[in-house]
Amino acid sequence: MPLKVGQKVVALMEGGEIFQELKAVKVQVLPDNIDDLEPSYLETRVMKAYVTAVSANTVYIDEEIYFSLDIVSEDFMPYKGDWVEVEYSCLPGPYNIKVHSAKPLFCKHLEEVCITSLYGRNGVIDNSIFFTLDSLKIPDGYSPQKYDIVDVVIVGSIQSCYIWRAMSMNPVPN
């Protein structure tokens, strides 16, 4: 398809170290309203990063890349420090990234583990998994106690000296 002057495109470039040596090896024409593009229209990529902040309805993975909680996979509420896998596309213009989806990079289900310590609203499971009541999904009426045996879903996260964070917890009946 012939290109027109002023038409918006995404180009895959290759070449030397100076600008004059670059050449486009693949060009994709963009529609006029690029904000409404479907993920399938643009070439998607996957990024692995950790959450630097969560504010209201927005998740930040650095100062320039952020996304709405609306696109996060079901049953996952990101928390500062969590490792995420983000599917995104690059749009024309500097720092113009469109995020399509986000999910935990590492996720495991553990059965019958013990709460080993509690400090106010925070705690530790099996001396190795951090949790905070601020982000933990628990059954109505349940309040975690030291030495409770629980089933948990954990995600990879950077939390002080811990590399896992519990995101949901259910007590195991005696």
Cα 160–Cα 102–Cα 69 angle in degrees, nearest 5: 85
169 CB burial (10 A radius; 0-12, 13-18, 19+): buried
Task: List pLDDT tens digits, range 84-132.
Answer: 999 988 766 655 778 888 999 999 999 999 999 999 999 999 999 999 9
* pLDDT at 21 (0 to 100): 62
What residue spans define the domains of the chain? 33-104, 107-171
The whole-chain average pLDDT of the chain stands at 83
Whole-angstrom CA distances from 27 to 5, 18, 54, 173 are: 14, 20, 36, 60
CATH tag for 33-104 (out of 3.90.105.10, 2.40.50.140, 1.10.510.10, 3.20.20.120) = 2.40.50.140
Task: List pLDDT tens digits, range 36-73.
Answer: 555 455 678 888 999 999 988 899 987 778 888 988 98
- pLDDT, greater one: 75 or 22: 75
CATH tag for 107-171 (out of 3.40.50, 2.60.40, 2.40.50, 1.10.10) = 2.40.50
Shared fold status for 33-104 and 107-171: yes
